[in-house]
Structure 1
């Protein structure tokens, strides 16, 4: 793909989600390559690339939204990792997820907190591996 939206989106995806984002795109290559392209072009090429919010604010918003949905644990984990990648602190992630208890209920917030716990533990393990 060489259109401007795709190139811009691919760069933003790598900046935010790194290897996890690349894995999501790769996992779609055999079933829905056009959907993978749309994921790169629209959310990352068009929305994430807008100047109105920095990446930290965008990722906090996504963590909040996915937590509130309550049925998107795999995507929530990817975006918690993305939030860490762009400089959001663990405390900020936990606070945003806890805030969702007010609007989405305790079950959604609990699911979000457990997803965060899993991501944090994996992040710690990866940080300790020799390079």
Structure 2
């Protein structure tokens, strides 16, 4: 992995913001610095930083995919937080999760909505505290 790809990915992550980004990196780093480097360089440096889609569109697509996948609740919460950080509205996030009921089933959509509720509540409590 090149340092250039990693730095490009890290810059992309920073642009996406979200309260859970640094926590996600710290958690990964504690387990495997190699996996952290690969994730940052490939996912964010090579893919999410490509031209063609804005960050809002990429994050809505990611929320949809993680909702449909149904096996990545930590990543789903992180990407819901990042979607909000790049300007997606709560209503847009709810709608993309509801749409996944058609393609991934109601359990996946219900779990996705529970993740969204958790992120929204955390942000609301953070604003109050």
* TM-score, structure 1 as length reference: 0.92
The runs of 5 or more residues in structure 2 that have no matched partner are none
How far residue 2 of structure 1 moved from its aligned partner, in angstroms, is: 7.5
What SS is found at the alignment partner of 1:38?
A: helix
| Equivalent residue pairs, number | 129
Distance 1:48 1:77, change over 3 A: same
Runs of 4+ in 1 over 3 A off after TM superposition: none
For 2:52 and 2:78, the matched residues in 1 are separated by: 23
CA 1:32–1:40 in structure 2 vs 1: closer, same or farther (change >3 Å)? same
Q: Which residue in the other structure is 1:31 paired with?
A: 31
Query: 2: distance between equivalents of 1:17 and 1:39?
Result: 16
Contact 2:19/2:82 (8 A) holds in 1:
no
Whole-Å separation in 1 of the counterparts to 2:102 and 2:30: 40
Q: For residues 15 and 90 of structure 1, what CA distance do their matches in structure 2 show?
A: 19
Distance 1:21 1:14 in 2: 8
Aligned-residue Cα RMSD (Å) equals: 1.5
Q: TM-score, length-normalised on structure 2? A: 0.94
Partner of 2:72: 72
Any stretches of 5+ residues in structure 1 without a counterpart? none
Equivalent position of 1:20 in the other structure: 20
Displacement of 1:56 after TM fit? Answer: 0.2
Report how far residue 28 of structure 1 moved: 2.2
Moved more, 28-37 or 95-104: 28-37
* Distance verdict in 2 for CA 1:118–1:18, change over 3 Å: closer
